[in-house]
């Protein structure tokens, strides 16, 4: 059975590749802004709704088992999207100093336009009380991560220096809770048991 990742995320692709999972990529092309505008629930439910939309969009147009995934950052009860520019990303990191934010994730598997499985993840990350000088250096070194990831960091690399406490699954922080996914794929016969 073909496994399809309905995402352009390089992090999600790297996680699956690193685990030796064969898959194809078919970006969903879902207009996320419209879903976000009309959504009134919690951040975790929004992440799940986005993952559902991606999986359903791709599974409705091609065969195979399709994975849709999304992640929403929640801080002080507010959901955050990717920063539109580096200044916004750095301002957020300043505001989060000494505070905990949450990465709420949704993962959906669908086939033939029907949802087969859902999984939600939640990780808590506390930004250490970083100095302004550190953040300015970080701005120069982080590059695209400031605006291509929801938190403005690549936790698997330089971004790890931003934190002094983390609770949750490492892979879920990166955007794809791998262990529950692998178990589901084994149950579906996609991977050997």
Which amino acids are annotated catalytic? 70
Whole-number Å distance between alpha carbons of 58 and 68: 9
Q: How far apart are CA 153 and CA 118, in angstroms?
A: 26
Contacts of 133 (CB under 8 A, 6+ apart): none
Nearest to 25, CA basis, from 62, 53, 51, 52: 62
Question: Roughly what angle, to the nearest 10 degrees, separates helices 132-142 and 86-95?
Answer: 140
Residue with tokens 């949450």: 102
Q: Which of 28, 106, 109, 114 is nearest to 71 (CA)?
A: 106
How is residue 131 written in tokens? 């100095």
């Amino acid at each position: 059975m073909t496994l399809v990742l309905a995402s352009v995320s390089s992090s999600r692709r790297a996680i699956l590749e690193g685990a030796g999972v064969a898959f194809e990529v078919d970006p969903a092309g879902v207009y996320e802004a419209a879903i976000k505008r009309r959504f009134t629930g919690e951040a975790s439910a929004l992440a799940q709704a986005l993952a559902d939309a991606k999986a359903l969009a791709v599974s409705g147009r091609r065969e195979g088992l399709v994975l849709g995934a999304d992640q929403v950052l929640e801080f002080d009860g507010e959901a955050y999207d990717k920063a539109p520019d580096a200044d916004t990303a750095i301002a957020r990191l300043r505001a989060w100093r000494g505070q905990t934010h949450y990465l709420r994730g949704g993962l959906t598997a669908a086939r033939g336009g029907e949802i087969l499985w859902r999984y939600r993840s939640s990780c808590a990350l506390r930004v250490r009380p970083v100095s302004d000088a550190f953040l300015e250096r970080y701005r120069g070194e982080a590059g695209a991560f400031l605006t291509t990831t929801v938190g403005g960091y690549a936790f698997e690399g330089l971004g790890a220096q931003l934190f002094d406490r983390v609770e949750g699954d490492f892979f879920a922080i990166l955007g794809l809770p791998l262990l529950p996914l692998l178990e589901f794929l084994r149950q579906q016969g996609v991977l050997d048991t």
